Amino acid sequence: MIQVIDYKAGNLTSVVKALNYLGAETHITQSPDDVRGADKIVLPGVGHFRATQLLHDLQLTEATREAIARGVPFLGICVGLQWLYQGSTEADSTDGLCAFGGKCERFPATHNGAELKSPHVGWNSLEDIRPDSKLLRGIAPGSFVYYTHSWRAPVSADTAATTSYGGAFTAAVERDNVMGVQFHPEKSGDAGLQLLRNFIEL
Amino acid sequence: MLTKRIIACLDVRAGRVVKGIQFVDIIDAGDPAELAHRHAAAGADEIVLLDITATHEGRGTLIDTVKRTAEKLFIPFTVGGGIRSAEDAESVFLAGADKVSINSSAIARPELIGEIGASFGAQAVIVAIDAKRSPNAADPVGDAEVYIAGGRKPTGLRVVDWAIEAEQRGAGEILLTSMDTDGMRNGFDDELTARVSQAVQIPVIASGGAGNAQHFANVFSNAQGGGHADAALAASIFHFGITDSWALKRELQLHGIPVRL
């Protein structure tokens, strides 16, 4: 059973629908016990980083930490990826899970002297795909995925793929069983479905 | 590289996709779910479904249509028409929409933009603007006016001003339809699109006038005289097989426009 965490940040329907379409059983939850006992965890989310404050308030942060420590595969999507870092300048008083170092920051207003529109909305390509990534297995470099966000995570050794917009940012992050994607796999056509299938099959 | 988006639009009435020619001679163009999937398979980057009747009695049909369409659609899906409250928006999100498009209701009560955004995120709110040039004004393009009620009622608002306000109130994208070019298949209103695109930070979707690949290339162009659009929407050129998105995008690539292929 995949536990899909509901923290009132946007629409869960699309993520659940895609997982079910691929044959996975899902359960939408806000319960720390469900999260502790999960086979797999998905943390979706669009919108504002401060919504993740609810994860702390509902004691889901500690439950997630425990599940991750015993090897449960975890996938954060969009704000769900950003939550894996120390935090985001979008909501400075709300801490992330701190599974990865660094803070998420807003896209710069300009890049190489040209104005940069924000949010970054649309289909952009995956680059620098790490060959050992379990999550991105079978997804070719240059594959297009769908983004909609204004904050982004820094590139580090745990980055599994990058995308370029105002410079490179972390498109996917992966260390052992902890994974995240900044794009929306549930809205990224075949490449997105392949990624979700990879996660389901872990 | 971030690509320019091709958006296929389905005008839906009483659960069927319809296409009018100059607002009359409504032709049945098929089942929404079936057409949405056909467009997705043919390379459309997004699907927009507009409920063009948007009557209260029709809400149940719309929700059912959205559900059926969204069920196996794994690209972004926007629903518009008759969304007057955050509750209306919620019901289409729960039925499977990723974004809603609001038009007259946002003019009537601009707070609606922020109310929907507060629950579902700014990225989920598209403010649609029906625009008409003001031929007698000093600056016919810059002074283009916002119309509501399906293009029947002028509001006295300048298009550029309203786009800026919509952005400030938390809109995620602007869907700009030029009433001057709509339905003519002679090209988008590049000049007006560029004015709006340069006035806001959020993406602008151009609509009205798509006829061929050159029209899309022009509206996507960031060069002087181009439309600076981030996305472009079309309906009829896709429905009857005049072109599909893959063919269109292959042509755009030859014009140097970045597209998802």
Three-class DSSP category at A8: coil
Torsion of CA A31, A36, A39, A43, to 10 degrees: 50
Is the minimum CB–CB distance between A117 and chain B shorter than 8 Å?
yes
Helix, strand, coil % (nearest 5) of chain B? 35, 25, 40
Q: Which among B149, B218, B204, B207 is positioned nearest to B183, based on CA atoms?
A: B207
pLDDT of residue A86: 97
B91 to chain A: nearest residue by CA? A11
What pLDDT shows up at residue B2?
96
Residues 6+ apart with CB under 8 A from A99: A68, A84, A85, A175, A178
For residue B59, the model assigns a pLDDT of 74
pLDDT per residue rounded down to tens, chain B (261 residues): 999 999 999 999 888 988 765 455 567 778 999 999 999 999 999 999 999 876 666 677 789 999 999 999 999 999 999 899 999 999 999 999 999 999 999 999 999 999 998 888 888 999 999 999 999 999 999 999 999 988 889 999 999 999 999 999 999 999 999 999 998 889 999 999 999 999 999 999 999 999 999 999 999 999 999 999 999 999 878 877 678 899 999 999 999 999 999
CB A186 within 8 A of CB A18: yes
Q: Is A146 within 8 Å of B40 when comparing Cβ atoms?
A: no
Alpha-carbon distance of B81 to A56, in angstroms, equals: 38
C-beta atoms of A146 and B72 within 8 A: no
Q: Which residues of B touch A197 (CB under 8 A)?
A: none
The DSSP letter of residue A154 is: P
Q: Is A89 on the interface with B (CB under 8 A)?
A: no
| CA B94 vs CA A11, A15, A48, A71, A164: distances in Å | 7, 12, 19, 32, 32
- A-chain CB neighbours of B40 within 8 Å are 189
Mark whether A104 is an active-site residue. no
Which amino acid is present at A166?
Answer: G
Cβ neighbours of B70 (radius 10 Å): 24
Write out pLDDT tens, residues A30-65.
999 999 999 999 999 877 898 899 999 999 999 999
Interface membership of A13 toward B (CB under 8 Å)? yes
Which residue would you say has higher pLDDT here, A9 or A172? A172
Distance CA B69, CA A56 (A): 36
Cis peptide before B258 (omega within 30 of 0): no
3-class DSSP state for residue A52? helix
Q: Is the CB of residue B173 less than 8 Å from the CB of residue B205? A: yes
Structure tokens at A174: 């992966």
Min Cα–Cα distance to chain A from B38, Å:
13
Query: Picking from A2-11, A20-29, A34-43, B213-222, which range would have the lowest pLDDT averaged per residue?
Result: A2-11
Q: How confident is the model at residue A70 (pLDDT cuts 50, 70, 90)?
A: very high
Test B230 with A121 for CB contact under 8 angstroms: yes
pTM assigned to the model? 0.95
Name the residue with tokens 């151009």.
B206
pLDDT at B53: 77
Rounded Cα–Cα distance for residues A102 and A135 (Å) = 22
- Residues facing A48 on adjacent strands: none
Taking 70 as the threshold, does the pLDDT of residue A3 lie above it? yes
> Pairing relation of β-strands A114-115 and A110-111?
antiparallel
Question: Is A122's CB within 8 Å of B231's CB?
Answer: yes
Could you identify the residue written with the tokens 């680059």?
A127
Q: In one letter, which amino acid is A76?
A: G
Tens of pLDDT along A97-116?
999 999 999 999 999 998 89
CA distance A111 to B182: 35
> A8 falls in which pLDDT band (50, 70, 90)?
confident
| Amino acid identity at B71 | E
pLDDT of residue B98: 94
Angle B244-A195-A122 (CA atoms, 0-180°, nearest 5)? 45
Q: Burial code of A162-187, b = ≥16 C-beta within 10 A, e = fewer?
A: bbebbebbbbbbbeebbbbbbbbbbb
Residues across chain A: 202
